[in-house]
Homo-oligomer: A and B are copies of this chain.
């Protein structure tokens, strides 16, 4: 969503790297799951989802959609290195790296292989419950230990408005204060809360752009707010497309 939010601006070019080697979802979500990666003399060509969004995922290399990648950590790290070294990313304005949850091989690999280029920062994503924040606290500890700047935290699945009666339910309740309180306590930026919307899951399944197709929804507005906050936190300006309103 961060990558597609940035790519709403046709003047900037975004790369999106899927480091979830055993459960790659990004090609499906971008509607390019059927694509394969082509090699050239210069290296592997990423798959383009639109004019200004280049994407790389192990899913593009599988013999069939459902094939399992049964790899230990060292091999996963090697593939992430390849994604960074041998993919012809071209002239990108942003490279967004999506990682699976945890603090293990994928995270160490990204940090180590991008050390010289420099990682601008990490975006933490949680849901409101304490069991989710428990993991995110560990991810924050990892970032601090690894010297990675934390750009902020987003609360996903934050409330649901019944389409029939407009009653709002906290399906995943913030029993310990959710991401907002967490951000306050830890001195990091709270970038926003994205409410549950069935159309998000549908758009992901069908590989359609939720941000474009449902631009007026509360969730799309919240996501655009997150993108704006990230860009602001990076000290950049005039990059995110403003709402027309």
A interface with B by C-beta (< 8 Å): 21-23, 25, 28-29, 65-74, 76-77, 100-105, 107-108, 129-131, 134-135, 137-142, 145-146, 160, 162-165, 167, 169-173, 175-176, 196, 198, 201-202, 204-206
Q: A173 is contacted by which of B66, B138, B198 (Cβ under 8 Å)?
A: B198
- Find out whether the CB atom of B162 lies under 8 angstroms from the CB atom of A204: no
Q: A205 is contacted by which of B76, B131, B201, B202 (Cβ under 8 Å)?
A: B131
Q: How far is the CB of A140 from chain B (nearest CB, A)?
A: 8
Q: Once the chains are docked, how many angstroms separate the CA of A146 from the CA of B100?
A: 23
Q: Once the chains are docked, how many angstroms separate the CA of A205 from the CA of B171?
A: 13
Q: A70 is contacted by which of B142, B165, B176 (Cβ under 8 Å)?
A: B142
Interface core residue of A66, A138, A172 (most chain B CB under 10 Å): A138
Q: Once the chains are docked, how many angstroms separate the CA of A25 from the CA of B101?
A: 13
Q: A160 is contacted by which of B71, B107, B140, B169 (Cβ under 8 Å)?
A: B169
> Which residue in chain B gives the minimum CB-CB distance to A73?
B73
Q: Once the chains are docked, how many angstroms separate the CA of A92 from the CA of B170?
A: 38
- Find out whether the CB atom of B169 lies under 8 angstroms from the CB atom of A198: yes
